[in-house]
Structure 1
């Protein structure tokens, strides 16, 4: 996954349905730039530097994986899509929407088309006031002053009026928070851990990740599966129980729900494939004794990818002990998952085919996937 950066963007409109333009801009930023973390109040201010209608202004905090120039290009495209025309005269003019990058974390950039931090932000109350709504401890990386200092020193005489309206955050349209615990499952290389990370980051969820990388028997199993299968599955049985029981019992008051990249029943699915029949019967008996009191997820999401795509993903992540995984093994795992899910009518399950999607690289694909999961969260599966 690409590292994300926290950025601040100013929005302004003084033509037509001003609130509608601000909301449409926020929706488009969420779609094309990144998740919107905070939205300021809306402020009415007089036009500055020209005669025109009053502006409605706001600021938003966004987390993005894009570089500064990509963000600028996206914001310009949003302005054009919302009807802003290219200037035909010098100076300021009325506009449907105006979007400006204020800060890009603490980066400093000075180029012909882009200056970060925004060169005029400290001179404008209509920027500083909404910016103070969403961040209080940020320091201007060039001026080395806090926002409070910049506000106190600002000589802009404009009258700032807060409006009794609230812009909506697009992320609230997703229904994940109705559940306490969501499990993301899938075959080897399906992308379950990547998706779990992204959901936890975007939706303020407590993350639970399987500790498979710490299992010393996993590389040995891939080299000699018959010899190490039972040892591997027993070690997973113990480790998964310890981890999931601890994580589910330790509530985090600052998180809205929990999301994990595995469900404990994967132990049964894999062991049925890897173990001899008599070993599996013993293992299954132990499994139900160990997990009889473990809570099942409120929503179980299964990411399906075809074998060709799984192999490409496995090769891309480059784990040496996975390089010789055979197609038929992956196909058995997938069949095992689907058979298991068919036998669990009481579980709320959503199976999503992402074979032609790349939600890690494509924000469009990621939002499509979120909508698929959100639909499941609206109507429990029968």
Structure 2
């Protein structure tokens, strides 16, 4: 899921504006997409005698947990020369200071992290830029808006807005080259989950296969020989109709299209499922329909070994899938590889996700996104 995290930035050493700018770029690279950056304010040092600070705030959209955001901010501080002296009491001058103010509307109180920031409402140099970002943001503990907190704060320090501006990197989507991406993989490989995450995070139109509504699927798993041809024909017609409709009706408000299947899977599965005579007939009809369908600009195949696939299938608990054999999964796998190898005109990318958990771990998810970006 996406989360909105509000971060304060301050600097009172060296080229203060340059440090703020570099921190913003670091946050964009390590934490997430920068949604907005407040103006710069100059304020006296707070809580100790030192040079004046430049302060600002930003809001960032991230997949990271609060603890992961904190870890990345500390790395950014370190990279910009911030030294946190363990045995020194009170505040010190610093090249950069990054603090989490809000993380959605969560209330967090752990040994390492307190959110909302416990001194937020006592710091005018935080409230001023925060007010420019979102003055209606409600403090989840105090139940007051930022605007109200600014009016009632006990901090009387002078805060001067500067004319200087900070910029944040243009967020170029890793998918900007593509109009249509198909995420494919074996049963239980995670293609639907990945396609859904990409659509949510990168503003894509999502096309999901409607396999769960197919009445022949449970029957097929019970009696493959009797229901194989019926199942494959129903899948083919449903996929063709869905793709024909969805790919020709583009959404002007979406950046691209991502689907959790490509219609060619019909031929891959049918070759395994059908008898030789049935497959010959099926293939003739398939190519008549296939030639009318828009092909993906990028075909991503998620590879997982058979043992992991079986684990995933058991976890999601669909009763009719529980008796799928390892041999059946292996035959499907080789069918996909054969398709990729023979169809060299298709722009394809194979990603081994056997040891990745892109739902729980952002770094695993980001690794997949970077592979697509590099492709």
Partner residue of 2:284? 285
CA–CA distance in structure 2, aligned partners of residues 320 and 162 of structure 1: 64
CA–CA distance in structure 2, aligned partners of residues 177 and 311 of structure 1: 35
CA–CA distance in structure 2, aligned partners of residues 216 and 162 of structure 1: 65
CA–CA distance in structure 2, aligned partners of residues 372 and 15 of structure 1: 38
Q: From the superposition, tell whether residues 205 and 331 of structure 1 become closer, same or farther in structure 2 (CA, over 3 Å).
A: same
Contact 1:268 1:284 in 2 (8 A): yes
SS in 2 for 1:252: coil
SS in 2 for 1:92: coil
Kindly indicate whether residue 298 of structure 2 is the aligned counterpart of residue 299 of structure 1.
yes
SS in 2 for 1:84: coil
Q: How far is the alpha carbon of 1:185 from its aligned partner?
A: 0.8
Kindly provide the CA deviation profile for residues 4-63 of structure 1, in whole angstroms up to 9, marking residues without a partner as x.
Answer: 54332223333345556546545655676x533514155242343242143253312233
SS in 1 for 2:206: strand
Partner residue of 2:33? 36
Q: How far is the alpha carbon of 1:297 from its aligned partner?
A: 0.9
Q: List gaps (5 residues or longer) in structure 1.
A: 377-382
CA–CA distance in structure 2, aligned partners of residues 230 and 344 of structure 1: 25
CA–CA distance in structure 2, aligned partners of residues 257 and 132 of structure 1: 35
CA–CA distance in structure 2, aligned partners of residues 321 and 190 of structure 1: 17
Q: How far is the alpha carbon of 1:365 from its aligned partner?
A: 2.2
**TM-score (norm: length of structure 2):** 0.86
Partner residue of 1:380? none
Contact 2:9 2:99 in 1 (8 A): yes
Partner residue of 1:118? 117
- Which stretch shows the higher mean deviation, 125-134 or 253-262? 125-134
Q: How far is the alpha carbon of 1:241 from its aligned partner?
A: 2.0
SS in 1 for 2:335: helix
Partner residue of 2:185? 186
Partner residue of 1:79? 77
CA–CA distance in structure 2, aligned partners of residues 147 and 290 of structure 1: 58
SS in 1 for 2:359: coil
**TM-score (norm: length of structure 1):** 0.85
CA–CA distance in structure 2, aligned partners of residues 23 and 51 of structure 1: 21
Contact 1:182 1:299 in 2 (8 A): yes
SS in 2 for 1:176: coil
Kindly indicate whether residue 198 of structure 2 is the aligned counterpart of residue 199 of structure 1.
yes
Kindly indicate whether residue 154 of structure 2 is the aligned counterpart of residue 157 of structure 1.
no
Q: How far is the alpha carbon of 1:267 from its aligned partner?
A: 0.9
CA–CA distance in structure 2, aligned partners of residues 156 and 215 of structure 1: 67
Partner residue of 2:8? 10
CA–CA distance in structure 1, aligned partners of residues 222 and 250 of structure 2: 39
CA–CA distance in structure 2, aligned partners of residues 175 and 133 of structure 1: 30
Alignment of 1:302-381 (within 5 A): 302-376=301-375
Kindly provide the CA deviation profile for residues 37-96 of structure 1, in whole angstroms up to 9, marking residues without a partner as x.
Answer: 514155242343242143253312233352x45544554454345432224544332223
CA–CA distance in structure 2, aligned partners of residues 323 and 8 of structure 1: 45
Q: How far is the alpha carbon of 1:225 from its aligned partner?
A: 1.1
Q: From the superposition, tell whether residues 278 and 206 of structure 1 become closer, same or farther in structure 2 (CA, over 3 Å).
A: same
Contact 1:44 1:163 in 2 (8 A): no
Contact 1:25 1:78 in 2 (8 A): yes
Q: How far is the alpha carbon of 1:111 from its aligned partner?
A: 5.7
CA–CA distance in structure 2, aligned partners of residues 6 and 322 of structure 1: 38
Q: Tell me the C-alpha RMSD between the 2 structures.
A: 2.9
Q: How many residues align?
A: 370
Partner residue of 1:107? 106
Partner residue of 1:45? 42
Kindly provide the CA deviation profile for residues 151-197 of structure 1, in whole angstroms up to 9, marking residues without a partner as x.
Answer: 5556553012253341226x53x531121111111111222112112
Contact 2:195 2:206 in 1 (8 A): yes
Partner residue of 1:379? none
Q: List gaps (5 residues or longer) in structure 2.
A: none
- Which stretch shows the higher mean deviation, 40-49 or 348-357? 40-49
Contact 1:183 1:299 in 2 (8 A): yes
Q: From the superposition, tell whether residues 137 and 236 of structure 1 become closer, same or farther in structure 2 (CA, over 3 Å).
A: farther
Contact 1:204 1:256 in 2 (8 A): yes
Contact 1:176 1:374 in 2 (8 A): yes
CA–CA distance in structure 2, aligned partners of residues 320 and 293 of structure 1: 35
